[in-house]
Copies of this chain bind each other. A is one copy, B any other.
Amino acid sequence: MKTPVAVVGASGYTGAELLRLLADHPRVEVVALCAERAAGQRIDRVFPHLGGRLDLDIDPLDPDRLAERAEVVFCALPHGQSARAAAALLERGRLVVDLSADFRLRDPAVFGAWYGEHPHPELLDRAVYGLPELHRHALAGARLIASPGCYPTAAILALAPLLARGLVSARGLIVDAKSGVSGAGRSPSAATHFPEVGEGVRAYKVAGTHRHTPEIEQELSRVAGAPVELTFTPHLVPMSRGIFSCAYAAPTEGVRGEEELRAALAEAYAGEPFVVVLEDGLPDTSHVRGSNRAQVAVRHDARAGRVLAMSAIDNLVKGASGQAIQAMNLAMGWPETEGLLGAAIFP
């Protein structure tokens, strides 16, 4: 029998992507959808692309009713709201995979500095950061999963093996990332109006003001065993999906060349089902669209004495919904790749 799952916040892009992927997952059945905005509508009114695939109505959020029906609940609500929903569902014994920022930062003070007071700080300790490549063991049996941000996923996957092996310095890291517009969500705004975005590139929330900064720092500090302070620059580019991240780091003293760096990535990700280490080519977001795979590559700029750690992911899949399902698979004790092996859509 299939495990009943629900999606809360089903009217946003990560919600839609959860539904696309869960509909093909052999071990689950989507039994309930919640979204305040669209309550009462059939899902294909909100997302016509799901027409013919999923036939469910959207309900308002009612934790009691939800806990009765679903065993696993994905929360894709705005931060703050998501924590409250998660708390209610946890209390009712459900496995919660939270896609908001609410449980990603372990330190309530750091959370407070970036997002304001946490509604449920007591839960922070129980949450497991849902990046399987770093936290696979902790995810087995987890009951509250903090699914990572899209930019952090891209940056961490490229840098972690190099920091873990001491090949690059934890100091002076720079992450210059370029994202498609779906990362801004589904609410229309001047900044995401088609003619304002088309044929243009721009940076935004630069110089330590983007909220993904402390999340990247937290995880990289853990891996490096030393505090990381990051310069993080997000950019918006005229495409719907995808993040390309280029991180700059200083090689540590012993590093002799590119081979050593490549070997570190290859070794770190040898058994990983969703990380493709590129040897010759460079990552390209158009090669991971719709897929849970990340492409990573490293280069050594010998002239300037610098290491480049690059990655490409689909921000809605490996950067959000696919990764959330990957974490659920681990938490449930299922094969990690269940429902997630589909190739990227190209072109």
Contact = CB atoms under 8 A, between A and B. Distances in A.
Given A244-B202, A290-B345, A299-B207, A284 B48 contact: yes
Number of copies: 4
A79 interface: no
Interface string A188-204: 11101111111111111
A26 to B, nearest CB: 10
Interface residues of A, number: 92
A94 interface: no
A248 B232 CA distance: 11
Interface stretch (A81-89, A104-112, A134-142, A175-183): A175-183
Interface string A203-242: 1101110000100000000000000011101010111111
A323 interface: no
Interface string A282-318: 1111111111010100011111111010101000000
B52 A199 contact: no
Contacts of A194: 181, 192-194, 197-198, 238, 240
A178 B181 contact: no
SS of A interface (majority): loop
Interface string A32-51: 00000000000000011111
A274 interface: yes
14 contacts: A13-B347, A23-B343, A24-B343, A48-B287, A49-B286, A51-B293, A53-B291, A53-B293, A194-B240, A196-B347, A198-B240, A206-B246, A208-B301, A237-B239
3 smallest CB-CB distances across A and B, nearest first, come from A200-B286, A195-B347, A49-B346
